[in-house]
Structure 1
Amino acid sequence: MSLSRGKLGRTADIPEDELPELVRQATALSLLYIQILVIDIYNPEITISMPFKDALREVSDGTVIDLEVTPGSKHTCIPSGYNPWRKRIEIKLSQAAQKGKANEQLIERLAILFDIPNSSVNIISGTKNSQKSVLLKAVEIDVAVSVLEKRIK
């Protein structure tokens, strides 16, 4: 049997006894991809498992988390998902993005989540953008990962 990738793609001869294994693997990957994309919209906590650790990095005075924030949502949800293409943890906030209210809510909620004072949460980039980077002062990356893993199922 011969498989081809497009007009200019390569052609591979695959023995017929190996084809069912390839189909099984492709099906498993497709189901995994579907499972990753499906979020239970009725549950405020996310029900997917993603390599969200790509959105965190350790710096000298704490941990930076890259976020994709959606203000003006019906419910506040931290985290609400993970964007693997942008490598950002998604967050939904109920406050509108007007006069810094969504940023205030973000700081308050992250402070509560990580059990730190509001003054230890700083938006270091994206104050007027949905893509934000937030510094959690004096929070080690292992602690941040642990806290987020409890929220991300």
Structure 2
Amino acid sequence: MSLSNALHTLPDGVCIDVDVNAGAKFFQIQGYNQWRKRIEVRVSSVPQKGLANKELMVEFSTLFNVPVQNISICSGSTASKKSIKISDISIEKVLRIVEDRLHDG
């Protein structure tokens, strides 16, 4: 498993490639899809009127301990395959947090 393939360094942060499944019972980082090179994420909101995107941004803000203003959707705002930008964070910290979350379940 090479989670680092889903992470990209930006001048002011990190971009994370995710595959989002909406309608789950709760938010969860489910795993890593090695063929799509994306981190699989589940959200409880439905994908209507931006609700799933908003939940994703709030949950990532909490998970990575950054203000929600530091989270944005770079691409895929209306698709399940998205790229999420997190400003003011290192790629090492993102990798450590995601790996810890996957190992903790």
TM-score normalised per structure 1: 0.66
In structure 2, the partner of 1:122 is 72
Q: How far apart, in 2, do the equivalents of 1:96 and 1:55 lie?
A: 24
Q: How far apart, in 1, do the equivalents of 2:84 and 2:55 lie?
A: 13
1:90 to 30, 35, 40: 40
Q: How far apart, in 1, do the equivalents of 2:31 and 2:40 lie?
A: 5
What is the CA distance between 1:108 and its match in structure 2? 0.1
What is the CA distance between 1:147 and its match in structure 2? 1.0
1:60 to 6, 11, 26: 11
Structure 2 counterparts to residues 38-49 of structure 1, below 5 A: none
In structure 2, the partner of 1:133 is 83
Structure 2 counterparts to residues 11-90 of structure 1, below 5 A: 50-77=1-28, 79-90=29-40
**How many aligned residue pairs are there?**
103
Q: How far apart, in 2, do the equivalents of 1:74 and 1:115 lie?
A: 23
In structure 2, the partner of 1:31 is none
What is the CA distance between 1:149 and its match in structure 2? 1.6
Gaps of at least 5 residues in structure 2 are: none
2:92 to 129, 138, 142: 142
Whose radius of gyration is greater, 1 or 2? 1
State the identity as a percent: 37
What is the CA distance between 1:104 and its match in structure 2? 0.3
What is the CA distance between 1:76 and its match in structure 2? 1.7
What is the CA distance between 1:75 and its match in structure 2? 2.4
Identify the structure with the greater strand proportion. 2
Q: How far apart, in 1, do the equivalents of 2:27 and 2:14 lie?
A: 22
SS at match of 1:129: coil
In structure 2, the partner of 1:44 is none
2:20–2:40 Cα contact (<8 Å) kept: yes
What is the CA distance between 1:128 and its match in structure 2? 0.1
Q: How far apart, in 2, do the equivalents of 1:72 and 1:52 lie?
A: 24
SS at match of 1:152: helix
TM-score normalised per structure 2: 0.95
Pair 1:101 & 2:101 matched? no
Q: How far apart, in 2, do the equivalents of 1:131 and 1:147 lie?
A: 21
